[in-house]
Amino acid sequence: MMADEEGRAEPEPCAPPLEADAEAAGDSELEFGIPLESNGYLLYRDRKEWADIEPVPQDDGPNPVVQIIYSEKFKDVYDYFRAVLQRDERSERAFKLTGDAIELNAANYTVWHFRRVLLQSLKKDLYEELNYITAIIEDQPKNYQVWHHRRVLVEWLKDSSRELEFIADILNQDAKNYHAWQHRQWVIQEFKLWDDELEYVEQLLKEDVRNNSVWNQRYFVISNTTGYDDPAVLEREVQYTLEMIKMVPHNESAWNYLKGILQDRGLSKYPGLLEQLLDLQPSHSSPYLIAFLVDIYEDKLDNQCENKEETLNKALELCEILAKEKDIIRKEYWKYIGRSLKSKHSPNVEQNVPTEIEEQ
């Protein structure tokens, strides 16, 4: 090292600071004739080891309507990627090129596909690739292509040991990440990892009972394990959901789950459900509770219940409450539901005096 007049150390002449010089020069050539980008990156067209490749420019047609202005680096990388793809070159340099292409656009499906071809052809370490894709997903967790790439790697490795913990880390960042939930469902189903999933779901619901993705996962797990045909399982789920509803009455996710597990069995046929909801109404009223009651009464009417006129009147009264007080933004919908119920189930619909809900 040498010192300047103020005593600061400077690099030796034989080792010029490439990055510093390049930054000062922008995209201009260095003194020894090698063009570099401002961060010291050497374009592929200027690399001696790529001299044998003729880059293939992107073909936007003779009259592109809205032509994208790519950076010089982007054009360079993808021109050379198209060239190696066209030649189907299975080489280490082509593999490294896919890494540069992914860094510029991790959503390019073709690059990921060719990278997988190279992984197999070059017999690359798949666990090293798994670490690579882990870092990218952590940076871009809502990218379809990166999750698909991870799934293929796990399939090839036949090893799911890292997956549930990794997905849980991603869900800690965003508990409603669709891609993470989709991957989790595939892993659980593919490798039969059902045992502790319901416990995991319950923990997430304790953290956020409104998370519709977790309610969906609960339905997925039970549907693929015990099912809902066992009366004990169904009763457990009904009571669990009602407890969650008591905590947050205006939580639509829980109401959707309750309706989802009962509607094929008949909402009005489940023992004691109507009575439990009526008991909740004074202290835990919400648009969702009242709408559920309308659904129960409609189901009773469809099944030719006794006291049909009384049941219809209860349903119409609730539709009016929803339209005028509890769900005003959808008042036209509830007016329509009221008219439909009346038209379908009133024996003297033509003689009936219009209700207040119809007149307004």
Q: Please give the backbone phi and psi of residue 141, each rounded to the nearest 5 degrees, phi first.
A: -75, -5
What pLDDT shows up at residue 301?
94
Determine the angle formed by the axes of helices 163-173 and 178-191, rounding to 10 degrees.
160
Residue 21 pLDDT: 35
pLDDT of residue 347: 72
| pLDDT score for 4 | 45
Task: Give residue-wise pLDDT tens across range 249-278.
Answer: 999 999 999 999 999 999 999 999 999 999
Catalytically active residues, by annotation:
142
Say what the pLDDT of residue 304 is: 84
So what's the pLDDT on residue 45? 96
pLDDT of amino acid 360: 53
61: amino acid identity, one letter: G
Model pLDDT, residue 242 = 97
Residues of the chain predicted below pLDDT 50: 1-33, 350-354
In the prediction, which pLDDT does 3 show? 43
* Distance set, CA 212 to CA 27, 129, 135, 216 (Å): 50, 33, 27, 6
